[in-house]
Amino acid sequence: MSTIKEKVIMITGASSGIGEATARLLAQEGAHVVLGARRTDNLKAIANDIIREGGSADYRRLDVTNKEEMNEFVTYVNSRYGQVDVLINNAGVMPLSKLAALKTDEWNQMVDVNIRGVLHGIAAGLPIMNKQKFGHFINVSSIGAHEVSPTAAVYCATKFAVRALSEGLRMETGPNIRVTNIAPGVTESELAESISDEEAKQVMKEYRRISLPSNAIAQSILYAIKQPENVDVNEIIVRPTA
C-alpha cells in the first residue's frame, strides 16, 4: 500500500458533507489537506479543528465555476508545497425537479458546478501533474452517473458527464497519473437543501432516510489514494446496504 503521509491533497466543496469528512480523515492519515469552497467561515473552522488535532490544513476561497479562481487555487498549493499529489473534484449541487418544471436556471447551475467545475479542476491540475510526472484526480460523481430517476434527469446527466470525463482522462493521461471516479449512493450532505421544487423535496426526504454517513465516502477516497502507485482504482460505487 502507498503511504498517504505528506501527500498534498486539494479538496473542492470542502466546507461540509463529503468534502469536510474527507479533509478530516486524510489529515488524520498525515496528508497536507488544502480546502476550497465559497464559505470561508466553514473552511476556517474545519482547518482550525484539523490543526488543533495535530494535522496539516490550509484553505482558500474557491468558486469552481470560476476558471481563474480554480487556477489560482491550484497555483497557490503548488507554490506553497512544491507539488500537487491529489485533486479531489468534489463540489456539486443537486436542485432536483421534473423537466416540465422548466427550472432552467437550476439546470444551468448544475451544469456550471457539476461539469464545468470538474473541467476547471482538470485544466488547472493536469499541466502540473504532467510536468511533475505524477498525480491523482478523484472525481466525485454519484450513483446518478449509472441510473436515472424522475426529478433527477439533469442532475444525472451532469454526473454521467463526470463519469465520462473521468474515464476519458484516465485513458489519455498514460501511466503516471491516476484517475478515480467515486459514485456515492444517498449520503448525508447539504445537497438536498438546494431543492426548491416541493415534489422533488418530499421524494428526496423519504429517500434520504437510509443515508450513508459522509465518512463512508471519505473512506473510499482514502482507499483509492492508498493503493500502490501502479494500481489505479478506476471507480468505486458506495451505497447503503438497505
Q: pLDDT truncated to tens, each residue of the chain (242 aa)?
A: 568 999 999 999 999 999 999 999 999 999 999 999 999 999 999 999 999 999 999 999 999 999 999 999 999 999 999 999 999 999 999 999 999 999 999 999 999 999 999 999 999 999 999 999 999 999 999 999 999 989 999 999 999 999 999 999 999 998 899 999 999 998 876 555 565 656 655 555 555 566 799 999 999 999 999 999 999 999 999 999 98
Question: Under CATH, what is the fold of the domain 8-237?
Answer: Rossmann fold (3.40.50)
Q: Where are the beta strands (DSSP E) in the chain?
A: 8-12, 32-37, 56-61, 86-89, 135-140, 177-184, 235-238
User: 155 an active-site residue?
Assistant: yes
Instruction: Measure the CA–CA gap between 68 and 50, rounded to whole angstroms.
Output: 28
Report how far residue 126's alpha carbon sits from residue 173's, in angstroms, rounded to the nearest whole number. 9
* Segments making up each domain of the chain, as ranges: 8-237
Pairwise CA distance, residues 70 & 61, whole Å? 10
The total number of residues shown for the chain amounts to 242
- Non-local (6+) Cβ contacts of 140 within 8 A are 13, 18, 88, 89, 90, 92, 162, 182, 184, 217
CA distance 43 to 23: 10
Choosing from 81, 155, 207, 223, the catalytic residue is 155
